[in-house]
Amino acid sequence: MRTAILRDAWHRTGRIARLATGLVDTLLPPLCLSCRVPVDRQGTLCANCWKQVDFLGPPHCTCCGLPFSFEMPEGSLCAACIASPPPYRRLRAATRYSDISRRLILGYKHGDQLHMTPALAGWLDRAGAELLDDSDLLVPVPLHRWRLLGRRYNQAALLALALGQRRDVAVAADALVRTRHTRSQGGLRRRQRLTNLAGAVAVPEARRALVAGRRVLLIDDVVTTGATAAACARALLAAGAAQVAVLALARVFTAEN
């Protein structure tokens, strides 16, 4: 009897969810996240925009995820990771930072287009499935309080919360803080970024016990040189994290990385 009641409740819940979705689609017809042409369901790209997104995958460096142009033996590392291993165990990004991913991410960060959160969390889920399976705490890259005040939200924290709910993984949105207001990383070379971030990220004393012994997955929107990810990873490891991996929406590829 109890099983039948639960089954009926599940079916009613599903019908309500489908009705709600249909109502939303009627009032707000689904549009492509990028070009705003009509699509068949909310939170998707049209076929033309989808073809322009350069999703990343193997073959790549086992550590930093740098794409290889040809097949390599499993566990292969790129020259940079061999010469100077990063503090994080692995780094993966869903897409290459191109015209369309740049437009989507900038709209998400600065244009209040928060309706994209579930879709972008889905991209992270697919790209970082292996990392998520090996993590028990999600931590977003932090914003300094003055930058957070101007932007009103931390896009990395929103993505971490959505991904944590999707995967049923704990999220510590305040496990990392910016201890000082740094200049924007945009336009800086790798060495300048490292200098800019030196001592600027830390785990607050009140959160060290939460981080200690945990397998942490750091969430960010864009990885450029990896300087921010490295600074955050060092802070987490200094606080006792068992390991740190990094998952981002997009990655910029330059001669420096």
Nearest-angstrom CA–CA distance, 75 and 77 = 7
Q: How far is CA 45 from the centre of its chain?
A: 19
pLDDT in tens, 162-216: 999 999 999 999 999 988 655 454 555 555 554 555 567 899 999 999 999 999 9
Rg (CA), the chain: 20
> Which residue in 238, 135, 94, 102 sits closest to 179, CA to CA?
238
> Which residue in 241, 218, 215, 214 sits closest to 230, CA to CA?
218
pLDDT in tens, 143-160: 867 666 667 789 999 999
Predicted confidence at residue 66, as pLDDT, reads 94
List the domains of the chain with CATH numbers.
46-251 (3.40.50)
pTM of the model: 0.82
Predicted confidence at residue 191, as pLDDT, reads 56
Predicted confidence at residue 5, as pLDDT, reads 41
C-beta of residue 107 within 8 angstroms of C-beta of residue 49:
no
Please provide residue 95's backbone torsions phi and psi, each rounded to the nearest 5 degrees.
-140, 160
Predicted confidence at residue 146, as pLDDT, reads 62
Q: Which amino acid does the sequence have at 139?
A: V
Q: What is the DSSP letter of 256?
A: T
Q: Which two tokens stand for residue 63?
A: 């550590």
Predicted confidence at residue 181, as pLDDT, reads 55
> Which residue in 64, 60, 107 sits closest to 85, CA to CA?
64
What angle separates helix 155-167 from helix 117-127, to the nearest 10 degrees? 70
The residues pairing with 92 across neighbouring beta strands, listed in sequence order, are 247
Angle at 151 between CA 116 and CA 135, to 5 degrees: 55
C-beta of residue 151 within 8 angstroms of C-beta of residue 143:
yes
> Which residue in 221, 253, 214 sits closest to 236, CA to CA?
214
Which parts of the chain sit beneath pLDDT 50? 1-14, 16-25, 183, 185, 194
